[in-house]
């Protein structure tokens, strides 16, 4: 029986497409790898393992693994869990000594996991284990991310103090202000109980801060379909919560870090757009002016615009979205990205002309101010659709 501890990964927090650090226990990979991050859970660990094993033996017999990731608990949670492995062949234990923290514990567990679905649940029985069945159903239906939420039908919290409720809701509102495109997709962004498809986050460098692993997954993963399942957050039976003010500060830090890294992409995209303006203007001059072939204006503009689009594509493909396109280096995929980029920019060109005319003819704006506004609006359009279509979709190919 697996009485030995799992090796503790180190280095970047990247989940592989396939776990190669462990030999496969049976002739098929587990469907679900469920991580239990633990710190001083000696009073709960036996119960939670027993309940989880019973339920998962019903839901997905022999197709799951439970991985405890303990941060060297002073109450020897890891030791108690290791002793349990002789009764539960699906149970594995990792004891971390150097690295600490809830969210990195979850990711380290996912790094050694073998399942196509990666899950996380607290070890203190506050997350009702029976909700796993509904989360699995949602994943089977094709969700990329299935979240147990306290804020949808069937959800709630037990006797949380007013302060904790206010803090939880306040944290959510703050998230909507700083990171609307991520937090608005989740009714309970603070949830620590969810499942995610391995492919949706594989090879993404995750850099969570503190407790909130879910927003890291939702922000950095390729998450098209999010399913939510209601659950009632229970009272603790044993031990106490490790949540302190530090976790709330870390949460704000995490939101700002994600904002910066997502916006960094937009800033790079805008800078590339500026180089495109220079290329467009330059070739318009060279092609239509007397120093060159003096082509008709429209033909010069079309050639100059297309050269600017190709210039922008090359810069965006190797710099702005380089982290994504490096994983699809094939010529066929790159050509597909170029065609999509071209089509989106062409639609952007039409929009540009439309906005320019609207601001000048309807709102009587000065034509250069109108053109600048039109360019800003179309840059947002180009960025958003290229992020969602050109570079994202090729990942699914
Ligand atoms: N390995 C490890 N390292 N585990 C930890 C650490 C740590 O530093 N801190 C806490 N844990 C484990 C606990 O042992 C427990 O299993 C789980 O993470 C949750 O910790 P709690 O301290 O009980 O958190 P909570 O109950 O106040 O809040 C939980 O539920 C919320 C709602 O889902 C956390 O999961 C929050 O992230 C979550 O928002
Ligand atoms: Mn808890």
Other beta carbons within 10 Å of 290: 6
Choosing from 41, 112, 242 the residue with most ligand 1 atoms within 8 A of its CB, the one to mutate for a pocket test is 242
Q: Which residues have any ligand 1 atom within 6 Å of their CB? A: 37-39, 41, 69-71, 100-102, 105, 122-124, 126, 190-193, 211, 233, 241-243
Instruction: Give the atom of ligand 1 at the shortest distance from the alpha carbon of 193.
Output: 33
Q: How far is the CA of 242 from the centre of ligand 1 (A)?
A: 6
* Residues in the chain with pLDDT values less than 50: 1, 393-397
Token pair of 44 as six digits: 């709960």
Instruction: Give the atom of ligand 1 at the shortest distance from the alpha carbon of 101.
Output: 8
Asked whether 140 and 195 are in contact (CB, 8 A), the reply is no
Q: How far is the CA of 340 from the centre of ligand 2 (A)?
A: 46
Which residues, at least 6 apart from 358, have a Cβ–Cβ distance to it below 8 Å? none
Query: Considering only CA atoms, which residue is closest to atom 6 of ligand 1?
Result: 102
Asked whether 200 and 117 are in contact (CB, 8 A), the reply is no
Query: Considering only CA atoms, which residue is closest to atom 34 of ligand 1?
Result: 192
Say how far apart CA 79 and CA 278 lie, in whole Å.
Answer: 64
Q: How far is the CA of 186 from the centre of ligand 2 (A)?
A: 20
Q: How far is the CA of 157 from the centre of ligand 2 (A)?
A: 12
Say how far apart CA 53 and CA 364 lie, in whole Å.
Answer: 69
Q: Is the dihedral of CA 310, 314, 317, 320 positive or negative?
A: negative
Query: Considering only CA atoms, which residue is closest to atom 35 of ligand 1?
Result: 192
Q: Give the pLDDT of residue 26.
A: 60
Q: Give the pLDDT of residue 205.
A: 87
Say how far apart CA 204 and CA 306 lie, in whole Å.
Answer: 32
Q: Give the pLDDT of residue 349.
A: 85
The one-character DSSP state at 8 is P
Q: Give the pLDDT of residue 395.
A: 42
Instruction: Give the atom of ligand 1 at the shortest distance from the alpha carbon of 39.
Output: 14
Say how far apart CA 386 and CA 392 lie, in whole Å.
Answer: 8
Say how far apart CA 311 and CA 176 lie, in whole Å.
Answer: 35
Mind listing the domains of the chain with CATH numbers? Answer: 5-243 (3.90.550.10), 264-390 (no CATH)
Report DSSP letters for 230-270, one per residue.
E-EEPPPSSS-----HHHHHHHHHHHHHHHHHHHHHHHHHH
């Amino acid at each position: 029986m697996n009485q030995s501890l799992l090796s503790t990964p180190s280095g970047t927090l990247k989940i592989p497409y396939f776990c190669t650090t462990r030999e496969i226990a049976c002739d098929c990979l587990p469907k679900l790898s469920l991580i239990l991050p633990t710190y001083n859970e000696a009073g709960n660990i036996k119960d939670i393992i027993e309940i989880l094993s019973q339920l998962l033996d019903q839901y997905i017999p022999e197709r799951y693994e439970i991985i405890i990731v303990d941060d060297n608990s002073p109450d020897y949670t890891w030791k108690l869990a290791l002793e349990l492995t002789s009764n539960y062949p699906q149970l594995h234990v990792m004891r971390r000594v150097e690295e600490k923290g809830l969210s990195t514990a979850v990711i380290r567990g996912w790094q050694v996991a073998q399942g196509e679905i990666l899950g996380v649940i607290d070890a203190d029985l506050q997350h009702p284990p029976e909700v796993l069945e509904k989360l699995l159903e949602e994943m089977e239906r094709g969700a990329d991310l299935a979240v147990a939420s306290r804020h949808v039908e069937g959800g709630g919290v037990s006797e949380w103090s007013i302060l904790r409720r206010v803090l939880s809701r306040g944290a959510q509102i703050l998230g909507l202000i700083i990171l609307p495109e991520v937090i608005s997709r989740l009714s309970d962004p603070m949830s620590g109980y969810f499942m995610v498809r391995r492919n949706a986050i594989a090879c993404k460098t995750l850099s969570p801060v503190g407790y909130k692993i879910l927003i890291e997954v939702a922000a950095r993963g390729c998450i098209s379909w999010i399913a939510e399942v209601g659950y009632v957050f229970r009272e603790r039976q044993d031990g106490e919560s490790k949540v302190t003010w530090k976790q709330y500060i870390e949460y704000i830090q995490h939101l700002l870090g994600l904002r910066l890294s997502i916006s960094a992409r937009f800033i790079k995209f805008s800078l590339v757009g500026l180089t495109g303006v220079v290329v467009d203007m330059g070739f318009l001059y060279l092609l239509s002016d007397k120093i060159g072939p003096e082509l008709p204006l429209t033909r010069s503009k079309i050639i100059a615009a297309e050269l600017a689009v190709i210039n922008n594509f090359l810069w965006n493909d190797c710099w702005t979205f380089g982290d994504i396109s490096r994983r699809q280096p094939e010529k066929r995929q790159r050509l597909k990205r170029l065609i999509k980029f071209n089509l989106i920019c062409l639609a952007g060109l039409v929009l540009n002309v439309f906005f320019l005319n609207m601001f000048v003819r309807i709102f009587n704006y000065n034509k250069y101010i109108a053109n600048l506004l039109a360019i800003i609006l179309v840059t947002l359009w180009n960025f958003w659709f290229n992020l969602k279509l050109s570079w994202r979709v090729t990942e699914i190919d």
